[in-house]
Amino acid sequence: MISYLKARGTYVLFNSNGIALTAKRGQALIDAGLDEYRLSMDGATRETYAHVRGVDAFDKIWRNIRAFVAMQKERNASKPAVSLWFTAMRENLHELEGLVDLAYENGISEIHLQRLVYFEQGLAHSKQSLFRRSTREELELVRHCEQRCQERGITFTAAGSATPLESLIRADFFRDGDRPWSGCRRPYTLTYITSSGNVLSCCFAPFGHKSAKEYQQDRVIGNIFQEPIEAIWRGERYEAFRRAFESDHPAKHCSQCGLNWSY
């Protein structure tokens, strides 16, 4: 897939938990011309990682990623750019500083602070969230890590155009009750296609539905194996989704954006 997309001139990236990043696969990713490899890393210790992700794989992942970065150096490969994606929550924020040091020691030059999206299912719940609920100490910690990244030449990013600190407070996004989702531009700028061809509004849309029927009716806008993407993008269902987005009654999955998490 990566080679196919690169042959078409596309910028290619993906996020991964890194568990299956063997030397052979790493070699293949470099050969295929992958532009970015975003490693999900929700802690700086084995214990916290296992607690947050539900799998005791911290040591294996770091062995994999160290070997991958070393292979890139050996081959003088400038791509893919490797970054760490840290989903910030109550249980792991105290390890962000340690993660900055881990990144620095391992020659990784970007950390992304991901805000938690939750639907009270699986491992993600509102009680873990920091968005609009961070304590003064938690915000100070993020500010400190911004500074630490700057000192170590690490780029520290967050969702949207916000800085990491802004992405957790961002009350200026909206006034309560005033269409908190409305600043999101995804309905006009991107789409999300699953491996079965279903077209959804964004990567939040596959989650939080109560039934397969609801998913099909409210989330799936079209299917690229049945209709060309251009027709879906400009079609009635997408337009109806966009009209709802501009009204007081957006799709259910949009209605929590900006309110429970930043978009």
Q: Which range in 63-71, 115-123, 169-177, 184-192 contacts ligand SAM by CB under 6 A?
A: 115-123
238 or 263: CB nearest ligand SAM? 263
Write the DSSP assignment of 72-120 as a string of letters. HHHTT---SEEEEEEEE-TTTGGGHHHHHHHHHHTT--EEEEEEP---S
Q: How far is the CB of 261 from ligand SAM (least distance, A)?
A: 7
What string marks each residue from 12 to 51 as x (binds ligand SAM by CB under 6 A) or -? Answer: ---xxx--------------------x-x-----------
Strand partners, 261: 257
**Which partner in ligand SF4, ligand SAM, none is near 187 (CB below 5 to 8 A by kind)?**
ligand SF4
To the nearest 10°, report the CA torsion of 56, 119, 133, 162: 90
DSSP annotation of 227 reads S
Query: Distance (Å, rounded) from C-alpha 168 to C-alpha 36?
Result: 25
Q: Which stretches does DSSP call E strand in 18-144?
A: 36-40, 81-88, 110-115
30 or 257: CB nearest ligand SF4? 257
**Which partner in ligand SAM, ligand SF4, none is near 186 (CB below 5 to 8 A by kind)?**
ligand SF4
Query: Distance (Å, rounded) from C-alpha 81 to C-alpha 64?
Result: 15
46 or 252: CB nearest ligand SF4? 252
Q: How far is the CB of 176 from ligand SF4 (least distance, A)?
A: 16
Instruction: State yes or no: residue 117 binds ligand SAM (CB under 6 A).
Output: yes
Closest residue to ligand SAM, based on beta-carbon distance: 40
Sheet holding 192-193, edge to edge: 192-193, 198-200, 222-223
Interface contacts to ligand SAM, rule CB under 6 A: 15-17, 38, 40, 85, 87, 114, 116-118, 124, 203
